[in-house]
Structure 1
Amino acid sequence: MEWLSDKGDRVQGKRAAEDYLMMQTVASVIDADLIAFQEVDGPEPLSKVLDPLKYDFYFSDRVKRYKRSRGSNQFTGWAVKKGVEVIDHKDYQPLGLPTFLSGGDLRYGAYIEVLRENEPSLHLLSIHLKSGCFEKAVRRNNSCKKLDRQIEALAIWINAKHKLGQEFIIAGDFNHYLNERNEWAWKQLLDQTEPNSLINLSASTPAKCKARKFNYRTKRWEHVVYQKLIDHIIASPGAIDKQFPPEAKQYKYSYHAVATYRLSDHCPVIVDL
């Protein structure tokens, strides 16, 4: 949700009441049961977009670690419609690339389990991977090297779920063009996981996200159209209908909404299971 925060320290996060109202409108039109969110500073700003009387919020455990932070943070998490039974698991911390001295500075995977009647539980991971490596080769820069390690950590989580016979969905900002012909991250994820254990539900999703982006060099907002997808939804085969596999779609903001309101530099990606 691009620096969804009310601390006022980020130009992208400075939103007026009418901006929040438009974000509420988008959320109500989509009317999702499960929302994997990224870049949210805490429950208070999220409550300005999603009705807390309608949704329960499950934030990354990092929200406790940075509770007294004066600056805005980018937390992952889930918003789940009330009435849906959920187990809130500990974050998948290896995505933060921890060391012996720290828990890691990158974002953790927010992990919940949704219980369903007469069907297996769904294990859900909301992620936000390292930025700066949208399509470059691993050897080219430090961001790609970190993303490479995160892909390896993601493969370990997927393999564990596969061995346990648990169905899963991973959704969020991969910060990489997984659908491009010469990309490496999706290929690597497939190579490091069990055969036929993974489906990219957004593999054929057309991208044409109209947005405004702040240019730090010129100190101005620019209108952009993103024609490649970095937000993806991937799943285990047992989590979806095999006869009629669902395909994710992108919710596109109108030109008027982008020009008038401070929304986000990402367009929501949606799938009906």
Structure 2
Amino acid sequence: MLLVTMPPNVCLAGPIKIATWNLDWLTSDPEGQKSIPPDVYRRQPADFARLSAYAQKLDADVIGFQEVDQPRTAAMVFPLSRYAIVMSDDRIEQRVGIAVKRMLHVTRNRDLTALNVYPPTAPHALRSGLDVTIADGSSTLRVLVVHLKTGCWDNPWNERGHSCPTLENQFEILNDWILERTDEGQPFAIIGDFNRRLAPHDPFYMALTHDAPLTLTTSGRASPCWGGEYFIDHLLLGGGAEHWMAPGSLRVATFKNTDIPPDHLSDHCPVSIKLSPP
């Protein structure tokens, strides 16, 4: 485990704001990287400045992010003067990570590499989950940041196409992780891009709640991001943390510069909630 050292015995004066944000192929590497599709738009300095301004306005204490290539790139959005950045060890361009305000303690746990359910012979790997423990001096929260297999957004549970069985396998891995946290009595959150329009009666979500109570914070809501869509970015709470959410605190930070193409910012908007630990 890696401990990111913060000031000791710090307690927050109010709720903790936690968010998830897919940053859509965010890279600071020069063009020509073979691992990045040639049609991916490379953000310019003005684009990074806009993203950083939105992050500052979001002002979340914890942001789980997806599709970022390296910590140096993440720091261009979440400045190191305010945030500690931890990212998965995957050797891919679309990594997951987390930015945590420096008033909090962050302990890194082993990456959930089991989410890469592909065999070693597969042409590319799936993304690991980033597993950290966050503490404010009085309470702790285990946070798993994920970016799951795309292509099974609202398809039937029993569809045998390539995406749905893969996503089902990943949900089985998530269920195992949830059961471990439940057995340990550890409050937790799973946040990120699930690439699934989860709902209380969705079989994928119901598989997670069979043995452990969860709160799907986006339940019954639609996102206003880029004109309106159903949520695929979610924040799930369990292990006791399902009782921590401040009522009515779900927010989607939409982009105001509607004349700027989504690939200059992101095709996903930040989704956040507020937690009030005991």
Q: Which TM-score band applies after superposition, normalised by the shorter structure? A: 0.7 to 0.9
Matched, 1:2 2:4: no
Matched, 1:204 2:220: yes
Provide closer, same or farther for how the CA distance between residues 27 and 85 of structure 1 changes in structure 2, counting only shifts above 3 A. Answer: same
Provide closer, same or farther for how the CA distance between residues 122 and 254 of structure 1 changes in structure 2, counting only shifts above 3 A. Answer: same
Separation of aligned partners in 1, 2:246 and 2:47: 37
Provide closer, same or farther for how the CA distance between residues 169 and 180 of structure 1 changes in structure 2, counting only shifts above 3 A. Answer: closer
Matches within 5 A, 1:183-262: 183-191=202-210, 193-194=211-212, 197-210=213-226, 225-236=227-238, 238-241=240-243, 244-245=246-247, 247-254=249-256, 256=258, 258-259=260-261, 262=264
Matched, 1:46 2:46: no
* 1:5 Cα deviation from its structure 2 partner: 0.6
Matched, 1:267 2:269: yes
Using the size of structure 2 for normalisation, the TM-score is: 0.80
Alignment check: 8 A CA contact 1:22 1:261 kept: no
Q: Which moved more, 1:130-139 or 1:24-33?
A: 130-139
Identity percentage of aligned residues = 30
Partner-residue secondary structure (3-state), 2:151? coil
Provide closer, same or farther for how the CA distance between residues 175 and 82 of structure 1 changes in structure 2, counting only shifts above 3 A. Answer: same
Provide closer, same or farther for how the CA distance between residues 18 and 244 of structure 1 changes in structure 2, counting only shifts above 3 A. Answer: closer
Matched, 1:15 2:17: no
Partner-residue secondary structure (3-state), 2:170? helix
Q: 1:29 aligns with which of 38, 57, 66?
A: 57
Separation of aligned partners in 2, 1:142 and 1:98: 11
Alignment check: 8 A CA contact 2:75 2:85 kept: no
Partner-residue secondary structure (3-state), 1:139? coil
Separation of aligned partners in 1, 2:193 and 2:88: 15
Alignment check: 8 A CA contact 1:249 1:269 kept: yes
Whichever structure has more helix as a proportion of its residues is 1
Alignment check: 8 A CA contact 1:206 1:250 kept: no
Alignment check: 8 A CA contact 1:201 1:246 kept: no
Separation of aligned partners in 2, 1:189 and 1:240: 14
- The amino acid that maps onto 1:118 is S
Q: Root-mean-square deviation (CA), in Å?
A: 2.3
Matched, 1:153 2:181: no
- The amino acid that maps onto 1:124 is V
- The amino acid that maps onto 2:175 is A
Matches within 5 A, 1:112-131: 112-119=132-139, 121-131=140-150
* 1:232 Cα deviation from its structure 2 partner: 0.2
Structure 2: runs of 5 or more not aligned = 1-22
* 1:52 Cα deviation from its structure 2 partner: 1.4
Instruction: Summarize deviations over 1:125-164 as a string: whole Å, max 9, x none.
Output: 0000000110112424111000000011100100110011
Matched, 1:76 2:104: no
Instruction: Summarize deviations over 1:154-177 as a string: whole Å, max 9, x none.
Output: 001001100110110010000000
Matched, 1:94 2:96: no
Provide closer, same or farther for how the CA distance between residues 88 and 243 of structure 1 changes in structure 2, counting only shifts above 3 A. Answer: closer
Separation of aligned partners in 1, 2:235 and 2:144: 10
Separation of aligned partners in 1, 2:174 and 2:87: 19
- The amino acid that maps onto 1:29 is K
Residue in 2 aligned with 1:214? none
Alignment check: 8 A CA contact 2:25 2:94 kept: yes
Q: 1:135 aligns with which of 141, 154, 159?
A: 154
- The amino acid that maps onto 1:109 is G
Q: How many residues align?
A: 245
Structure 1: runs of 5 or more not aligned = 67-72, 211-224
Alignment check: 8 A CA contact 2:71 2:86 kept: no
Higher RCO (CA-CA < 8 Å; seq separation 6+): 2
* 1:226 Cα deviation from its structure 2 partner: 4.3
